């Protein structure tokens, strides 16, 4: 069968990037004076209304992706609601923002009330934990758009950050240290490739049988491991926000470690991440082996055990590493303008 890559599993990252650039230009044509940054950061930044208001609204919209197909196979949906909220919380947190409110969008060919209720239970649980109010949502029944028995769940979060406390990586300097925080699993990225690698994208009965298997290296079923909710980094990052110790934050989602860390590194610098400086969880090795996936492709698609990256000055690194229970996974070095802003070294 040869090796699997992400575009062969149905998702073309390079193609998506070209379109995203065109979209960014069209979007920029709508910008009003309230817009504080161009598109491309982890959240959209907009001045909060009101005279002399020193707060900035930070927003993000996202979905859980094909992780919902695992949930649909197993009939467990609650954790998907948690995934969605935590993914969004982590996105705006990367700008230094705390959540204010959340709205969800659920769509399917037909309404399955029990599924929707489980999802909202999960969203409400994660929202409450983040101090985020679930203030609206839309339930759409769209026959002819969705395949039967599955659904999509998207959500939009709005948070706020004081104008002087925006985290955007602009103060990052050569010598700064990258601290990687452990992910709880795949989070919400790479599921199309993982499903293909693990043989979960064919006959549902066969897929359920495989999901029930308990791999030799764990006492949990593959299904449990794959449905493990996206971790919220708010509890561990929030105490650091006010101490101004943070120079940059990256949420490791689609595009992997290098792709996401690159978004916050200023020109003339490069984040050098050392593979092997943290333990890659077995689930990633398992997916790689089963799908005979190239190691570099693994690092482009999956978080490989690092869900969030905090950039700090070297003198702050030991304290932050300890507080956040992370690993020192690399550092920032000088680089030419044309060089990649982030690379993962020693992948094998």
| Helix H or strand E encompassing 99 | strand 98-108
CA distances from 191 to 195, 200, 279, 303 (A): 6, 10, 21, 12
Q: Are 237 and 247 in contact (CB under 8 A)?
A: no
Residue holding tokens 């601290």?
A: 179
Taking CB under 8 A as the criterion, the residue among 3, 75, 111, 209 binding a second copy is 111
Site for a second copy in 131-150 (CB under 8 A): 131-147, 150
Residue linked to tokens 């004076």: 33
Binding residue (CB under 8 A) for a second copy from 2, 4, 5, 48: 48
- Rounded-to-integer distance, Cα 186 and Cα 227, Å: 9
120 binds a second copy (CB under 8 A): yes
Half-sphere exposure of 306 (CA within 13 A, CB side): 34
Stretch that binds a second copy, among 108-116, 177-185, 211-219, 283-291 (CB under 8 A): 108-116
Residues 150-169 that bind a second copy (CB under 8 A): 150-152, 154-156, 158, 160
Q: How far from each other are the two terminal CA atoms of the chain, in whole angstroms? A: 21
Residue 124 found at the interface with a second copy (CB under 8 A): yes
Nearer to a second copy by Cβ, of 111 and 214: the residue is: 111
Per CB under 8 A, the segment of 43-51, 179-187, 231-239, 303-311 that binds a second copy is 43-51
Residues 201/207, Cβ–Cβ less than 8 Å: yes
Q: Answer yes or no whether residue 57 interacts with a second copy by CB under 8 A.
A: yes
Rounded Cα distance, 5 and 23, in Å: 26
Q: Does position 27 bind a second copy by CB under 8 A?
A: yes
- 295 lies in the binding site for a second copy (CB under 8 A): no
Q: Which of residues 1, 2, 26, 338 is near a second copy by CB under 8 A?
A: 26
- Restricted to residues 65-94, the positions that interact with a second copy (CB under 8 A) are 65-66, 68-69
């Amino acid at each position: 069968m040869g090796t699997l890559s992400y575009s062969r599993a149905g998702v073309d990252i390079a193609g998506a990037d070209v379109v995203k650039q065109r979209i960014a230009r069209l979007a920029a044509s709508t910008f009003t004076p309230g817009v504080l940054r161009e598109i491309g950061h982890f959240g959209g930044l907009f001045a909060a209304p009101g005279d002399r208001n020193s707060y900035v609204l930070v927003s993000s919209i996202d979905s859980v992706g094909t992780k919902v197909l695992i949930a649909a196979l197993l009939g467990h949906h609650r954790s998907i609601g948690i995934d969605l909220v935590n993914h969004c919380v982590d996105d705006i947190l990367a700008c230094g923002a705390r959540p204010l409110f959340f709205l969800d969008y659920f769509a399917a060919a037909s309404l399955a009330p029990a599924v929707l209720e489980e999802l909202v239970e999960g969203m409400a649980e994660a929202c409450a934990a983040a101090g985020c109010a679930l203030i609206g949502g839309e339930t759409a029944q769209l026959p002819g758009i969705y395949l039967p028995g599955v659904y999509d769940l998207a959500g939009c979060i709005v948070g706020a950050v004081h104008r002087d406390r925006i985290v955007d990586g602009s103060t990052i300097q050569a010598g700064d240290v990258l601290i990687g925080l452990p992910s709880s699993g795949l989070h919400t990225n790479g599921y199309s490739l993982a499903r293909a690698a693990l043989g979960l994208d064919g006959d549902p009965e066969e897929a359920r049988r495989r999901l029930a298997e308990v791999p030799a290296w764990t006492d949990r079923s593959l299904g449990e491991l794959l449905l493990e909710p996206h971790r919220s980094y708010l509890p561990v990052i929030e105490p650091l926000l006010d101490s101004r110790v943070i120079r940059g934050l990256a949420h490791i989602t689609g595009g992997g470690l290098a792709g996401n860390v690159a978004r916050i590194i200023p020109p003339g610098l490069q984040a050098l991440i050392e593979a092997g400086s943290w333990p890659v969880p077995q689930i990633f090795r398992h997916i790689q082996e089963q799908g005979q996936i190239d190691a570099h492709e693994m690092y482009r698609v999956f978080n490989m055990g690092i869900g969030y990256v905090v950039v700090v000055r070297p003198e702050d690194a030991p304290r932050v590493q300890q507080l956040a229970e992370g690993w020192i996974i690399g550092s920032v070095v000088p680089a030419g303008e044309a060089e990649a802003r982030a690379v993962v070294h020693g992948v094998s």
